[in-house]
């Protein structure tokens, strides 16, 4: 079984609704159950090293965006050192055993008023999760009939749960026009079991890891002044060994762009 931990960066509002962010990013970190314990052990080892080097305690939440601009108690760690923690975390995440990172980016520019950013991004992420399992394209162990579960950070929990239940019954996908076919096929989601199992990021190293990946992608696309001055917009590229590049045929890093 594959476990997908999910977090977002940016908000799902549209510009006409006064959204402050031009992008909405949804990132999934996929780990096979047989690699879950070694991955957790590696994350714990990383946190112990960060504790020794920078004083980041194991129980303190590592939230990438807040670490830079709103660190709270972590203000005791210098800003440069907090950025160094992010850099080291990116390198560690890239080499988790069998890690796979799927990224969906919604460019909210010029989207119509009835465009649902949240639903569009989640629908694509779930479809990529299902398809990559079905075609056995994830790194790590695999069985002929693999299944998956989704573990998101808290979001619009009810809306996401309803979406996944709907996709198990009705998921119209347009036929490929290059094959001379019109209309749709109902490709229901059958490899993702159970409702989304929501996690509190403060208590999950895996959610904190996928939060980092989503943050780094947002900063690659729209770096803040501090990130740009430190050339940290390039940190996303450190994740390259773990990126699920089969998720998109048109992007070299597999980023699905909507």
Task: Name residue, tokens 């696309």.
Answer: 221
Domain count, the chain: 1
Task: Classify 230 as helix, strand or coil.
Answer: coil
Distances from the Cα of 85 to the Cα of 48, 77, 146, 234, 251, angstroms: 12, 10, 35, 15, 28
Q: Which domain holds residue 252?
A: 2-257
CATH classification at residue 181: 3.30.420.10
Closest CA to 218 of 85, 108, 56: 108
CA distance 215 to 61: 15
User: pLDDT, tens digit, for every residue of 183-214?
Assistant: 777 788 999 999 999 999 999 999 999 999 99
Kindly state the percentage of the chain with pLDDT values over 90: 86
In angstroms, rounded to a whole number, what is the distance separating the alpha carbons of residues 5 and 111?
A: 27
**pTM of this structure:** 0.94
Whole-angstrom distance, CA of residue 96 vs CA of residue 231: 24
Structure tokens at 185: 């096929």
């Amino acid at each position: 079984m594959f476990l997908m931990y999910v977090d977002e960066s940016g908000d799902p509002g549209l510009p006409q609704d006064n959204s402050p962010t031009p992008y909405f990013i949804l990132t999934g970190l996929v780990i096979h159950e047989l690699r879950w314990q070694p991955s957790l052990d590696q994350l714990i080892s990383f946190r112990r090293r960060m504790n020794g080097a920078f004083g980041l305690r194991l129980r303190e939440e590592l939230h990438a965006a807040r670490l830079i601009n709103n660190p709270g108690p972590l203000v005791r760690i210098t800003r440069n050192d907090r950025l160094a923690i992010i850099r080291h975390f990116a390198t560690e995440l890239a080499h988790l055993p069998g890690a796979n990172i799927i990224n969906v980016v919604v460019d909210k520019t010029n989207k119509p008023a009835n465009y649902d950013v949240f639903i569009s991004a989640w629908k694509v992420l779930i479809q990529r999760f299902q398809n990559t399992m079905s075609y056995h394209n994830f790194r790590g162990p695999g069985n002929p009939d693999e299944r998956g579960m989704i573990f998101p950070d808290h979001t619009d929990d009810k809306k996401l749960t309803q979406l996944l239940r709907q996709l198990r019954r009705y998921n119209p996908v347009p036929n490929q026009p290059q094959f001379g076919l019109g209309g749709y096929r109902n490709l229901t989601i059958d490899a993702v079991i159970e409702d989304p199992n929501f996690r509190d990021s403060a208590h999950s190293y895996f959610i904190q890891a996928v939060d980092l990946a989503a943050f780094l992608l947002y900063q690659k696309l729209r770096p803040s002044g501090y990130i740009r001055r430190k050339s940290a917009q390039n940190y996303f590229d450190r994740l390259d060994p773990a990126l699920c590049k089969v998720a998109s045929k048109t992007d070299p890093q597999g980023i699905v762009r909507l």
